[in-house]
């Protein structure tokens, strides 16, 4: 399959020929459905506990709640301050997207169009970045940010995040631009377009599938980050959602299960809603990103 059809999501998942499988199919499908339910179950069970008081929970954890109580949600919300966390996280996501994608698209375009020994060497320098684990650079990164006054700020978090994403997305954009026919550039040049015109008017719109993919995956990456945020943010007010969830884990614990369940529901909700709306895009994008290497 060509690069572009992966990104466009065209016909990869056509149905296999209709064959009678009989009882075997029923048994295997039943097992698969049970396993899939087991995957979803930890996200559903909290709803059974969350409307109970601690006392009701200790005596009848598995019974249906006698009445719907919202108090656990209120307490968990106060403890996690998910609203503040959400704002911080969205700022980090937006920043990561804004600083990862344009540099990657530009560099990927140059690497795809202008091939010389120098660009080859530079491309390998970019690839090197792809193989460096983030953990390797934590100490110098932290010290540098402290020296530059970037530590404990949200831009101090999304700038390095963008840097770690650039190698991968440069690779994606490079292979995407290489799959576009060269005649397009020739035609645009004959029409009198300059380098910038060709890039912005012709190539970038054509690269839209790659850009959509990049926006989705960079967003998810920034949204989920734990390690970098843990190292670089110290002030509670700057904490992202994930740091708030993690500190709730340590500070409140599981002794009051209904409140814990409320916190689990509140903090998982944005991700789950996002996934319910866009799981086709997310899965397609993840595969396209992985197939690339």
Partner 1 sequence: MFLCLLPAFFFLAVFLYYPIVETFRISTMRTAGLGQELYVGFDNYAKLFANDEFQAGLVHVFQWAFWSVIVQLPLAFAIAFALTWYGNRLTGFLRAAFYLSNVLPSAITAMLGKFIFAPNYGIVASFANLLHWKWLGGIDFLGDPKLAFWSIFAVATWAYTGFPIIYLMARIEQIPRDVREAAMLDGASPWRYATRIVLPETSYPLRILAVLCTVGSLKLFDLPNMMTSGGPGNATVTLGITLYRHGFVNWNYGKAAAIGAIIFALSLVFTVLQFSIGRKKGEGQ
Residue ranges in 59-98 that form contacts with partner 1 under rule CB under 8 A: 61-62
Among 90, 94, 106, 180, contact with partner 1 (rule: CB under 8 A): 106
Residue 21 is classified by DSSP as -
Contact status: 124 vs partner 1 (CB under 8 A): no
Q: What is the DSSP string of 236-251?
A: GGG--HHHHHHHHHHH
- Footprint (CB under 8 A) of partner 1, residues 29-58: 29, 31-33, 35-40, 42-43, 45-46, 57-58
- The tokens describing 223, both together, are 């949204």
Among 13, 20, 78, 117, contact with partner 1 (rule: CB under 8 A): 13
- Footprint (CB under 8 A) of partner 1, residues 228-287: 230-231, 241-243, 245-246, 248-249, 253-255, 257, 260-261, 263-264, 267-268, 271-272, 274-275, 279-280, 282-283, 286-287
Min CB(272)–partner 1 separation in Å: 8
Of 274, 272, 268, 243, which is closest to residue 88 (Cα–Cα)? 243
d(CA 73, CA 290) in angstroms, rounded, equals 38
The phi-psi region of residue 169 (left if phi > 0; otherwise alpha if psi is between -120 and 50; otherwise beta) is alpha
- Region near partner 1 per CB under 8 A, out of 14-22, 68-76, 179-187, 201-209: 14-22
Contact status: 107 vs partner 1 (CB under 8 A): yes
CA atoms within a 13 Å half-sphere pointing along the CA-CB vector of 16 = 3
Question: Nearer Cβ to partner 1, position 129 or 179?
Answer: 129
Question: Nearer Cβ to partner 1, position 136 or 190?
Answer: 136
Among 131, 149, 190, 251, contact with partner 1 (rule: CB under 8 A): 131
* Contact between 246 and 231 (Cβ < 8 Å): no
- Footprint (CB under 8 A) of partner 1, residues 191-230: 195, 220, 223-227, 230
Min CB(273)–partner 1 separation in Å: 11
| Overall residue count recorded for the chain in this entry | 293
User: Can you say how many angstroms the Cα of residue 212 is from the centroid of all Cα atoms in its chain?
Assistant: 13
Among 2, 19, 20, 181, contact with partner 1 (rule: CB under 8 A): 19
- The tokens describing 225, both together, are 């980050």
Min CB(164)–partner 1 separation in Å: 7
Question: Nearer Cβ to partner 1, position 98 or 184?
Answer: 98
Among 102, 187, 201, 277, contact with partner 1 (rule: CB under 8 A): 102
Question: Nearer Cβ to partner 1, position 206 or 281?
Answer: 281
- The tokens describing 93, both together, are 């996501």
* Contact between 217 and 285 (Cβ < 8 Å): yes
143-174 b/e (C-beta count within 10 Å ≥ 16 → b) = eebeeeebbeebebbbebbbebbbbbbbbbbb
């Amino acid at each position: 399959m060509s690069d572009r059809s992966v990104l466009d999501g065209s016909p990869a998942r056509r149905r296999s020929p209709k064959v009678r499988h009989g009882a075997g199919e029923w048994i295997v499908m039943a097992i698969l459905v049970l396993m899939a339910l087991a995957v979803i179950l930890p996200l559903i069970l909290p709803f059974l506990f969350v409307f109970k008081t601690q006392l009701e929970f200790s005596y009848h954890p598995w019974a249906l709640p006698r009445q719907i109580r919202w108090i656990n949600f209120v307490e968990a919300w106060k403890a996690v301050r998910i609203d503040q966390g959400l704002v911080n996280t969205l700022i980090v996501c937006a920043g990561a997207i804004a600083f990862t994608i344009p540099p990657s698209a530009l560099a990927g375009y140059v690497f795809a169009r202008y091939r010389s020994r120098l660009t080859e060497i530079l491309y390998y320098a970019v690839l090197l970045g792809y193989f460096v684990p983030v953990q390797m650079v934590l100490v110098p990164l932290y010290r540098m940010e402290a020296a530059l006054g970037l530590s404990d700020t949200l831009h101090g978090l999304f700038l390095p995040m963008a840097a770690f994403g650039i190698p991968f997305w440069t690779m994606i954009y490079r292979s995407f631009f290489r799959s576009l026919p060269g005649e397009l550039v020739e035609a645009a040049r004959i029409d009198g377009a300059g380098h910038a015109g060709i890039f912005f008017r012709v190539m970038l719109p054509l690269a839209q599938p790659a850009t959509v993919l990049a926006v989705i995956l960079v967003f998810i990456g920034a949204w989920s980050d734990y390690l970098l945020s843990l190292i670089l943010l110290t002030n509670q007010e700057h904490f992202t959602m994930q740091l708030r969830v993690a500190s709730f884990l340590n500070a409140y614990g599981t002794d009051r299960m209904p409140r814990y369940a409320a916190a689990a529901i509140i903090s998982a909700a944005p991700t789950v809603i996002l996934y319910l709306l866009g799981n086709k895009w997310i899965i397609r994008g993840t595969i396209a990103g992985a197939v690339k290497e």
